[in-house]
C-alpha cells in the first residue's frame, strides 16, 4: 500500500510540475527584456521591468480586447446557464416523451466539428446584420455551449431523489419555482463549476471570433494575440506580458469559487 501511495505522489508531483512549468515560463519572461529571454528563458529576471505591461496596455491597448471578451461572456454566460438549467431540469426530472432522442441530438451537436456549419452560420448572421458585432457572438456562443451545460446539469439532476420536488408539487409549487428555489440551490456548486468551465472556453474561443469579427477595435483576447504577432513581429517580452494579462480573469475567479468547483466536480464525476 505504501508503494502504491508513493507512486501516486510521484505521478501527482510530475503532473503538477508539468502543468505549472509553462505558467512559470510565462510569468518570469514577462518581466524580462527580449535579449534576456533569448539568452536564458528559464532563469528568474535579474532586473524585473514593468515596461512590458505598460507598453502592451498603452501602445497596443490590450485591455480593450480583454474587455471585448468580457462583454460577450457577461451576456452569453447567464443565457447559457439559464438554458442549461431549464433544459436539464425538463429532461432529467419531467422526462417528456422523446427525451432520450433529444439527449442523443445534444450529444451529436457536441461532437459536430464547427467547420461543418460555420459557412451557413456566417450567411445567416450576415443576413441578420450581426457580423462584425460583439453582440453577434452572443447567440452563437449560447447555441454552441448550451448543449454542454445541459448535458452536465442533466447528469447531475438525475442523482437527486424524486421526493424532493414531489413534496413541493403537493404544496402547489410550479415547476419554475421548484427549479429556482429547490433544485438550483442543491446543485449550486455544480452550476458554478459549469459557469467557470464555460467562461474559460469562451475566453479562449478563437474560430468564431476570427470569422465574425473583422474590425480591429472589436477583437477578442485570442484574436489580439494573433494580430499582435502579425502587426508587431515577434516581440517576445510584450507577448509574454500580454499572456500574463490574459490569464488574470481566470486567476481572479477561480480562487473565489475554488471550494464550490471542487464540490461541483465531485458531483459531475458521480453523475
Of 209, 228, 208, the C-alpha closest to 219 is 209
DSSP symbols for 143-201: HHHHHHHHHHHHHHHTTS-THHHHHHHHTT--HHHHIIIIIHHHTHHHHHHHHHHHHHH
How far from the centroid of its chain's Cα atoms is residue 5's Cα? 33
> Nearest 5°: CA angle at 220, between 70 and 108?
85
Cα separations (Å) of 76 from 8, 66, 111?
Answer: 40, 15, 21
Instruction: Centre a 10 Å sphere on the Cβ of residue 5 and count the other Cβ atoms it contains.
Output: 9
Residue ranges in the chain modelled with pLDDT below 70 = 1, 257-271
Task: For residues 192 and 177, give the distance between their C-alpha atoms in angstroms, rounded to a whole number.
Answer: 20
Query: Nearest 10 degrees: CA dihedral of 253, 258, 264, 268?
Result: 90
pLDDT of residue 201: 92
Tell me if 237 sits within 8 A of 29, measured CB to CB. Answer: yes
Classify residue 31 by burial, with Cβ atoms within 10 Å: 0-12, 13-18, 19+. buried
pLDDT of residue 250: 82
Q: Which residue has the cell 467557470?
A: 196
pLDDT of residue 261: 66
pLDDT of residue 267: 59
Amino acid at each position: 500500500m505504501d508503494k502504491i501511495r508513493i507512486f501516486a505522489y510521484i505521478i501527482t508531483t510530475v503532473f503538477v510540475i508539468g502543468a505549472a512549468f509553462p505558467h512559470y515560463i510565462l510569468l518570469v519572461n514577462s518581466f524580462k527584456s527580449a535579449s534576456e529571454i533569448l539568452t536564458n528563458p528559464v532563469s528568474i529576471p535579474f532586473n524585473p521591468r514593468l515596461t512590458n505591461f505598460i507598453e502592451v496596455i498603452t501602445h497596443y491597448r490590450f485591455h480593450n480586447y480583454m474587455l471585448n471578451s468580457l462583454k460577450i461572456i457577461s451576456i452569453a454566460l447567464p443565457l447559457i446557464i439559464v438554458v442549461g438549467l431549464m433544459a436539464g431540469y425538463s429532461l432529467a426530472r419531467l422526462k417528456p416523451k422523446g427525451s432520450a432522442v433529444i439527449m442523443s441530438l445534444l450529444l451529436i451537436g457536441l461532437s459536430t466539428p464547427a467547420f461543418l456549419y460555420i459557412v451557413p452560420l456566417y450567411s445567416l448572421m450576415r443576413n441578420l446584420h450581426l457580423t462584425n458585432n460583439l453582440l453577434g457572438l452572443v447567440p452563437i456562443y449560447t447555441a454552441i455551449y448550451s448543449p454542454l451545460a445541459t448535458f452536465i446539469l442533466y447528469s447531475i439532476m438525475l442523482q437527486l431523489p424524486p421526493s424532493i420536488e414531489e413534496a413541493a408539487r403537493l404544496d402547489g409549487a410550479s415547476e419554475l419555482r421548484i427549479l429556482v428555489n429547490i433544485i438550483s440551490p442543491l446543485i449550486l456548486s455544480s452550476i458554478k463549476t459549469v459557469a467557470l468551465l464555460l467562461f474559460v472556453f469562451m475566453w479562449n474561443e478563437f474560430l468564431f471570433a476570427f470569422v465574425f469579427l473583422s474590425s480591429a477595435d472589436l477583437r477578442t483576447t485570442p484574436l489580439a494575440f494573433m494580430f499582435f504577432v502579425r502587426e508587431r513581429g515577434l516581440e517576445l517580452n510584450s507577448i509574454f506580458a500580454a499572456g500574463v494579462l490574459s490569464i488574470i480573469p481566470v486567476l481572479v475567479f477561480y480562487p473565489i469559487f475554488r471550494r464550490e468547483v471542487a464540490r461541483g466536480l465531485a458531483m459531475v464525476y458521480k453523475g
